[in-house]
Amino acid sequence: MKKKLILALLMACFAIVACDKEKDQYQTPQINKRILKLNKDCINYISPQDKCDTVDIFSSIKINLNYSCNEVNEYNYSSKVNIDTFEILNTKNNNKVDGAFSISEDGLSIIFSPEEPLEPNTEYNIKANVSMLKLVEDEWVVAQNMNDSLIIEEKVSSFTTGDAVNCIKPQHILCSYPIDRMYNLYSKETNTGYICLSENYRFLLNKIPEGYTQQLRLSTEDGIYQDIDFTHFKSTEIENQKYEINFDLSKLNFDNQKIYKLQILQIPTNGNSSETKQIWSIDFRTSKYNTLKEKVDDIGLEGIAKFTGNNLFIKDIEFSFTTDDFFDVYEQQEKGKYDNLVCLNADLENTEWFKSSIYYEMYHKYSETEIKRDRDFSYPPTDAMTVFNPLSINHDYLTDDEINTGETLGIYNYGCITHNVIRECHEDLKVLRDKIGSKRQHGETLTEYEQKVLKYQNPESLTKGNYPYTISYRLPGKNIITSEIHKVLTCN
């Protein structure tokens, strides 16, 4: 009996084992969720390139990636590149270079901007370590390749800088006042003089050679000069700025309608002028007027204007005038490197035509975000006014001949102010009309004002009356308004 029982138990055990083996045979194998299949290295290249020499001391160092640092969702998983190490070493002292990191919008470039310019004629080593991360069960982990190895990369390279810089490079000047080649400096308009720089020039301005002094010098073609002190410091007041130089214009004496040179100099104390070192220099002319207000009041810039334009429906306002001290290129409304020094803005809130037009209600009912379009002007377009010289041919700034001879030739003395507000108002109205039209197509109920807008196919005509505006002076880059003058154009 016992033998039969033991035999039965053994047979049962064999049956269980056989069943487990059968289960194992059909069980799904465990998948490694960390695995990623990549076709390229994470790091594409490093700039400056390896072994590159004569690299600019103001250079930034960049890692360019084949895969983004931003989270990427594709193929039912999320991944991103992680920067584990990115350092630059000065081989002279083995010190790490201090600076700031930034990442491009697409996450494919990591830029390191040194806090101070790199040392000249020096070798630097770059070390970069990156890893590919994958989101697994709500946790970022280092991904593995098809061989189950962690996806980690290291790249090292080196470069050598070029010679030292002994002057401020023009391409590093974001803005300045006075402006190089300006034709109309109003000597009493502001006491603020400055140079805003995109690079840190402390190394140069702090490095005054023994036996030298450092001064800001204002001079004329006949050799008469004035020297004053200036200050310099780190600044991020405007976009892309790193450094600034300030000086007080009220400490300098200007004559009107004269050409001047303004320089930062390192001057030998032994009196040998041939050893003077120039760090920065510009040339400019002073206006016949001390302030913009003096000029505007003398010219007038108000009174009877006329409707003009070839379009059957859109008419602008134009006011013509003459002056022997016309606005230069930095004052005229031209798109360029500098902000316009002279700004014209229509006073629409005190313009009867505007207040009685369909546009007035539009700008009070709808925000700029609701009426989206590419625009060159404000919302509402108060700044859709210009002052310009239509006949000047490359001579609305100070020329080389004038600088060399010390004699000014003048700017063509005819110009005009144009009031183009209606054009921009109607462009905004067209965007709104299309938006309302789409709303009607979808069967939505329109308001009384929206129904009114749909009827306006053509601009609302300008009417006779007064068109007040403000003319102001704005320091470049800083958007500081130094004066505002109110004037009125009248259309009969």
- The pLDDT profile of the chain, 492 residues, written as one tens digit per residue, is 544 544 454 455 444 444 454 444 444 455 578 888 888 999 999 999 999 999 999 999 999 999 999 999 987 889 999 999 999 999 999 999 999 999 999 999 999 999 999 999 999 999 999 999 999 999 999 999 988 899 999 999 999 999 999 999 999 999 999 999 999 999 999 999 999 999 999 999 998 999 999 999 999 988 899 999 999 999 999 999 999 999 999 999 999 999 999 999 999 999 899 999 999 999 999 999 999 999 999 999 999 999 987 666 678 999 999 998 999 989 986 544 457 899 999 999 999 999 999 999 999 999 999 998 888 889 999 999 999 887 655 567 899 999 998 888 777 788 899 999 999 999 999 999 999 999 999 999 999 999 999 988 888 889 999 999 999 999 999 989 999 999 999 999
Q: What single-letter amino acid sits at 387?
A: V
- Degrees to nearest 5, angle at CA 157 with 154 and 158: 155
**Beta-carbon neighbour count of residue 100 at 10 Å?**
10
> Do 214 and 232 meet the contact criterion of CB atoms below 8 Å apart?
no
Across 91-239, where does the E strand assignment appear?
95-96, 99-103, 109-114, 123-136, 139-142, 152-161, 173-177, 192-197, 212-219, 225-228, 231-234
Q: Give the residue among 478, 490, 486, 491 at the shortest CA–CA distance from 179.
A: 478
Tell me the backbone φ, ψ of residue 24, rounded to 5 degrees. Answer: -60, -35
What does the pLDDT read at residue 9?
Answer: 47
**3-state secondary structure at position 471:** strand
Positions of E strands within 358-464: 385-388, 414-419
Cβ–Cβ < 8 Å for 373, 366: no
Q: Of 343, 349, 386, 300, whose CA–CA distance to 483 is shortest? A: 343
User: Which pair of tokens denotes residue 57?
Assistant: 């001391």
Asked whether 69 and 95 are in contact (CB, 8 A), the reply is no
CA distances 311 to 304, 307, 325, 423, Å, are 22, 11, 33, 10
Predicted local distance difference test score (pLDDT) of residue 31: 59
- Long-range residue pairs from 62-66, CB within 8 A, at least 24 positions apart, any chain: 62/109, 62/110, 62/111, 62/112, 63/109, 63/110, 63/128, 63/130, 64/108, 64/109, 65/107, 65/108, 65/109, 65/110, 65/130, 66/40, 66/41, 66/42, 66/108
Q: Among candidates 245, 421, 225, which has minimal Cα distance to 317?
A: 421
Place of tokens 């998983």: 77
The one-letter amino acid code at 359 reads Y
Q: What is the DSSP letter of 237?
A: S
Q: Which helix (H) or strand (E) holds 434?
A: helix 421-441
DSSP string, 248-287: EGGGS---TT-EEEEEEEEEETT--GGG-EEEEEEEEEB-
For the chain, list the domains and their CATH numbers: 43-161 (2.60.40.3780), 170-285 (2.60.40), 292-491 (no CATH)
User: Using CA atoms, how far apart are residues 240 and 111, in angstroms rounded to an integer?
Assistant: 14
Please give the model's pTM, rounded to 2 decimal places: 0.85
